[in-house]
Amino acid sequence: MNRIDQVFQGNKKLLSIYFSAGHPNLEDTLPILRALQSSGVDMVEIGLPFSDPLADGPTIQKSSTKALKNGMTTEKLFQQLENVRDEITIPMVLMGYFNPMMQFGIERFCQNCKAIGIDGLIIPDLPVDIYHERYKNLFEQHGLYNMFLITPQTPEVRIRYIDEVSNGFIYMVSSASVTGAKNTFGDPQINYFNRIGEMQLKTPQVVGFGISNAATYQAATKHSRGAIIGSAFIKFLEKEGIDNIPKFVSSIR
């Protein structure tokens, strides 16, 4: 069973943390993973830095740029993660854009992911229909789930199509904007969470974009199985450092 499926068993509300590989320092990837796992995080999303991250807000863009300047590449990340499963047992998802994966070679990319124990991918610029037609079989051959994003503007027919072809979870974007931390959710977001909940989708939903504190985490998980924190964690990491990661996690739940 895929580790993502395992973590969704039971009724626990999940906490997933996103960080950019190679940031703040090139060799921080494994220390961050260790600290997140020991702090009780349920799942991690490792960002593959890209020079043109369309869905990312300024904080993640800045961290991605810094990681690239530090020397992070797809090849380097795979090298860093080569023996990661000797100590990291929680689900690991790579989040990145399709261009670097194509440059690396899609089949080779999937082979590397399988070899090191990556459980799934989030590729914001890979449309679900293209994935379904061209890549789903390849991904599944290598044990990789591919998670798709929905927004408040995504039509119901599209959401149900995503639900039909999805494994793992659906990434429920909290608003029609780029990533970035917010202090609270307004009525439009709450209504959106309720609407998706009423659709009774088969695939669990996890909320991302705008989760920054205990209040937004609780609001997001009231209508979903979990929440993803990215920008707020990256800001904390830059200010407080890896040693204080348990402090960040405990402040959320």
Rg (C-alpha) for the chain, rounded Å, is 17
Does a structural domain hold residue 156?
Answer: yes
Instruction: Please say if 56 is a catalytic residue.
Output: yes
Does a structural domain hold residue 186?
Answer: yes
* Count of domains for the chain: 1
CA–CA gap between residue 197 and residue 222 (Å, rounded):
10
The stretch 1-18 carries a mean pLDDT of 95
Q: Hey, what amino acid is at 4?
A: I
Residue 205, phi then psi, degrees to nearest 5 = -110, 145
What's 27's domain CATH number? 3.20.20.70
pLDDT of residue 105: 97
- Tens of pLDDT along 193-216? 889 989 999 999 999 988 999 999
Does a structural domain hold residue 2?
Answer: no
* Percentage, residues of the chain above pLDDT 70: 93
pLDDT of residue 185: 74
Cβ distance 181 to 59 under 8 Å? yes
CA–CA gap between residue 240 and residue 57 (Å, rounded):
21
Does a structural domain hold residue 215?
Answer: yes
Does a structural domain hold residue 8?
Answer: no
Half-sphere exposure of 124 toward its Cβ, with a 13 Å CA cutoff?
19
Cβ distance 211 to 220 under 8 Å? yes
For residue 127, what is the DSSP state? -
CA–CA gap between residue 193 and residue 174 (Å, rounded):
8
Does a structural domain hold residue 216?
Answer: yes
Does a structural domain hold residue 69?
Answer: yes
- Tens of pLDDT along 38-86? 999 999 999 998 776 555 678 887 888 888 899 999 999 999 999 999 9
The stretch 122-134 carries a mean pLDDT of 95
Instruction: Please say if 45 is a catalytic residue.
Output: yes
- Tens of pLDDT along 163-195? 999 999 999 998 744 444 445 678 888 889 889
Name the catalytic one among 42, 45, 86, 125. Answer: 45
Query: 5: which strand partners?
Result: none
Token pair for 72: 């992070």
Q: Which domain holds residue 114?
A: 14-252
Other Cβ atoms less than 10 A from the Cβ of 245: the count is 23
- Tens of pLDDT along 220-232? 998 899 999 999 9
pLDDT of residue 54: 58
Does a structural domain hold residue 4?
Answer: no
Helix (H) or strand (E) holding 145: strand 145-147
| Range with the largest mean pLDDT of 108-112, 124-128, 174-178 | 108-112
pLDDT of residue 60: 81
Name the catalytic one among 28, 42, 56, 119. Answer: 56
- Tens of pLDDT along 85-96? 999 999 999 999
167 exposed, middle or buried (CB, 10 Å; 0-12, 13-18, 19+)? middle
pTM of the entire structure? 0.92
